[in-house]
Amino acid sequence: MSDDIRSSPGSPDDDVEPVDVDRPFTRAGFRASGLNPGTLHEPEYTRVMPWVWVRKVAIDRFTLIRAALLIHPASAYASFVSAAIVLGLPVPDPPFVHVTVTKAKDRRFRAQIKPHVTDRIQRVIERNGIRTTDPIETFIDCAGLLGLVDMVVLGDALVKQYGIGPSALVRACAGSTDYYAKLALNAASFVREGVDSPMETRLRMLIVLAGLPKPVVNFRIHHDDGTWRRRFDLCYPSLKLIIEYDGLHHAQPQNRENDIERREEFDDEGYRIIVVTARGVYRTPEKTLHRIRRQLVLRGASDVPEIDDRWRDFFAA
C-alpha cells in the first residue's frame, strides 16, 4: 500500500501539528516539526501501519494502540482487550487493536485495527495519555472475547489494581444492558480479593472448575498477639492444608531458602503445603487435581466429590 496519506479516505492528511517522534506520528506531522520526510526510510524509524511511523527505540506495548487512535477522530477510544492493555490488566495479546467510535463513518479499516461502532454511552477515561473504557466497562466488553478463566484473571487483577470490590463488580455486571453482560456476570461471580498473580487465579479456577471444595484466598496466619505472620495463596484452614503457586521468582536462591524455612516451620505445626508450578497448571493439571483431592481426603474433609471433568473445557489435559 502506498505511503501517500492522500490515497485513502479518512487518512490524517490534515495533521499539521508538530509531533513527538517517540509517539506514533504521521508524515504531515513529521514535516510540520521541520523534519525531512525522506529520513523516515532510515533505520531509526519504522512504519507502525500505513501513514504512521515511530522511532524504533520508542516502541512499547501501547505503540500500536496510539497509532490506531491517531488516525481516528479525537472522540475514538481503545476498547475490549486493547483497553485492558492500556489499563495495565493481564489479557492475552490481541491480533489487532480494538477501537470504538460512535459513527460508522469514523471507522478506519487497517489490517491492525478492529473497529467497533456503538451508540451506547460508555464510561471513557484517560490512562497513559490514551482514551480508553474504564475498568468495569472494559471487563464487561472483554467477556465477548475471552474465555471464563481469562476473564477471572482479568477480574482478580482489576479488583487488586483499581480497588473495586468483587461485589461491586457483580452489581455492575448485573445492572448492565451490554450484550456481553451475562457472560461478564458469570465470570465476576468467581472474582476474589487479594489475588497476587494470574497464575494464582488459574490454579484456583482449576480447583473450582473440577468441583473440589473452594479454598480460602489470600489466607493470613497471625501471631498470638494478632500481628501478621504469613500469607498463603490458597488454604483450607480447618484442614491445615495450604496450596501455594511456585513462580519463577521462587527459584532465586534467597527466595528458595526462605520458602524452605517457611514450609518447615509450618510442617512442625501440622500444616501440609502442596506446591504447584506452572507445569502443574498447564502441562499436568489432572495430576495436580488428584494431588489436592488426595490431601483433602487424607486430612479429613467430609464428602469430597470426585473430580468433575468440567475443568477439561478450560484447561488442556
My answer on whether 71 and 184 are in the same domain is yes
Q: How many domains does the chain have?
A: 3
My answer on whether 163 and 231 are in the same domain is no
My answer on whether 44 and 93 are in the same domain is no
My answer on whether 44 and 71 are in the same domain is no
- Asked if 109 contacts 97 with a C-beta cutoff of 8 angstroms, the reply is no
Domain termination site, one of 145, 165, 188: 188
Q: What mean pLDDT do residues 139-144 have?
A: 97
My answer on whether 74 and 183 are in the same domain is yes
Note the pLDDT of residue 222. 65
My answer on whether 23 and 134 are in the same domain is no
My answer on whether 250 and 157 are in the same domain is no
**Residues 67, 72: Cα–Cα separation, whole Å:** 9
Domain termination site, one of 188, 223, 245: 188
Q: What mean pLDDT do residues 160-179 have?
A: 97
What grid cell was written down for 80? 475490549
My answer on whether 209 and 184 are in the same domain is no
* Digit-coded pLDDT (tens) for 264-289: 777 888 899 999 999 999 999 999 99
**169 backbone dihedrals φ, ψ, rounded to 5°:** -65, -40
Strand pairing class (77-78; 124-127): unpaired
My answer on whether 213 and 308 are in the same domain is yes
* Digit-coded pLDDT (tens) for 193-240: 999 999 999 999 999 999 999 999 988 886 677 676 678 889 999 999
My answer on whether 213 and 274 are in the same domain is yes
Write down the pTM of the prediction: 0.88
Task: Please list the residues that pair with 53 across neighbouring strands.
Answer: 25, 47
pLDDT tops 60 at residue 117 = yes
Domain termination site, one of 188, 221, 239: 188
The whole domain housing 73 covers 67-188
For residue 193, tell me if it sits in a domain: no
What grid cell was written down for 236? 483450607
Q: State which amino acid sits at residue 76.
A: A
My answer on whether 81 and 150 are in the same domain is yes
